[in-house]
Structure 1
């Protein structure tokens, strides 16, 4: 994957993540009595799939414990319909970006141009084997440019994530396996942040470490072995390869232009407090997608 394409994917991923780290989503969903932070996240991100049951969300998200999702889905759809949740997340994204970036930025010609470029890139994605991308691509595109940019960023992020799950499956890594590997690397977040956010119990985490130990991917202290680090790098390269189409269709010059502009937006949002301190380095500048499912 060309360097400009990876830079664009990294910046896009970070922009997509912004509403999930603000109070705007919770504010929009409060009228539906959706207040638990995990339910707020699930209602927003799963809503394009429709009123699906827990196994579908578990499969699409990959990194969450099945029981954790089953505690919330499908009961969540009795509180807020997927259609209303889609509208709520768009409103939240719009409010968050306008507050963090400023009214002049979100109404600027540059924002409109970035939204156009991102939509062109998203149109270059492939549908087969990409359930979350396909579900988002089926939604009506929002009109305000900053929300349209966020929507296109979401499609691009989910396209990459869908491909990432396929690569993990090829290498026989489960969702929790991938999280353990990431937390053991120098690139990932800490276990005490990731494990509870994804609903895994200590027993699940330990079992995953044992599986990885048997494959010589981690050592007895839980640190990545050379083989584990090499596999992580290979998974990332293969994810890049499966994610090259949208940026190739956009072209190098426009992909670089989009990457530079969105990276600037993410840095501005970070300076405005978009990310909690523990995640600031992780998202600004953005990194890879291992922990983003």
Structure 2
């Protein structure tokens, strides 16, 4: 059903902390290391791309969108010499569930968490898959029965659904993957944008070329900050991303959505408090 007020931004704030345990908690990294991965990025590409199966690096690069040329190919398909996509996804899920159980402690055994997991699963499986590559890949997997795993899986599906829409918004504005990191960095108040953690490792000459291209389009000024046009472009991207992320929540009645928000607020608050204090965030 259509809700009176847009809800995607609020739901992103509540579900993103659930997904982010994959990045700020040790358990997911440990689970991937147990498969034989010696570094974080092998585990990252194996775990996240696993639902796509054994596809070429070019496909993962297209689906993930925001990595520089050649970065994906350093890991895919090499990671499948170490494990299978099925084992990689299972390990990622297992590690994230262990992290959630540790952080949320006694809350994981409550009826409230089970209810939140059920409602979130309804939303996460309720949107069309057309044009949503990562979301469709996850939709093809069975939804776990165990409540904590169910909660994580649903949040992960919603994250990739939103990500697919975000890519569509970026493509519409002709913003490439590395350019998107520049705009995000500036939006976060990071200057120079080239120091942003997701891109600072890239060759200086390449980053200079990216920045020059954004200046040529009048999206950045000479100092590498937003112009009015650049800020407006970033605003349109975020607005369109939110609009494209609404569909899953139309599977819930208004009362169910309000209940889900109420149930997720303490979960997100606890996870956010732990994540914001973690040196591994980012």
Q: TM-score, normalised by structure 1?
A: 0.88
| 1:192–1:243 CA distance, 2 compared to 1 (3 A) | closer
**Residue of structure 2 equivalent to 1:206:** 208
The verdict on how the C-alpha distance between 1:38 and 1:119 changes in structure 2, with shifts beyond 3 A counting, is same
Aligned to 2:70: 67
**Distance in 1, Cα, partners of 2:249 & 2:190:** 25
**1:194 is paired with a residue of what secondary structure?**
coil
Cα contact 1:5–1:256 (8 A) shared by 2: no
Does 1:146 find its partner at 2:148? yes
Unaligned segments of structure 2, at least 5 residues: none
CA contact (8 A) 2:25 2:280 kept: no
CA deviation profile, 1:36-85 (whole Å, cap 9, x unmatched): 11112111111111111111111111111131111111000110110000
2:23 to 17, 20, 23: 20
Task: String of CA shifts for 1:91-147, please: whole Å, max 9, x gaps.
Answer: 101100000110x21111011101111111112211111010001111111121011
Pairing partner for 1:256 from 254, 258, 266: 258
Counterpart residue number, 2:270: 268
Say which is worse superposed, 22-31 or 133-142, in terms of deviation. Answer: 22-31
CA distance in 1, matches of 2:244, 2:71: 29
Distance in 2 (alpha carbons) for counterparts of 1:26 and 1:222: 35
Shift, 1:172, TM fit: 0.7
Q: Deviations over 1:163-221 (max 9, x none)?
A: 1101111111100111111112236796341214xx63322322111111011111111
CA–CA distance in 2 between the matches of 1:194 and 1:140?
Answer: 32
Hey, what does 1:194 align to over in structure 2?
Answer: 198
Q: RMSD of the TM alignment (CA)?
A: 2.1
Distance in 1 of aligned mates of 2:148 and 2:251: 22
The whole-number CA distance in structure 2 between the counterparts of 1:270 and 1:224 is 29
Contact 2:117 2:150 in 1 (8 A): yes
Q: Give the conservation status (yes or no) of the 8 Å contact 1:4–1:259.
A: no
- State the aligned residue count: 277
TM-score by length of 2: 0.91
Aligned 1:47-126 pairs, distance under 5 A: 47-102=50-105, 104-126=106-128
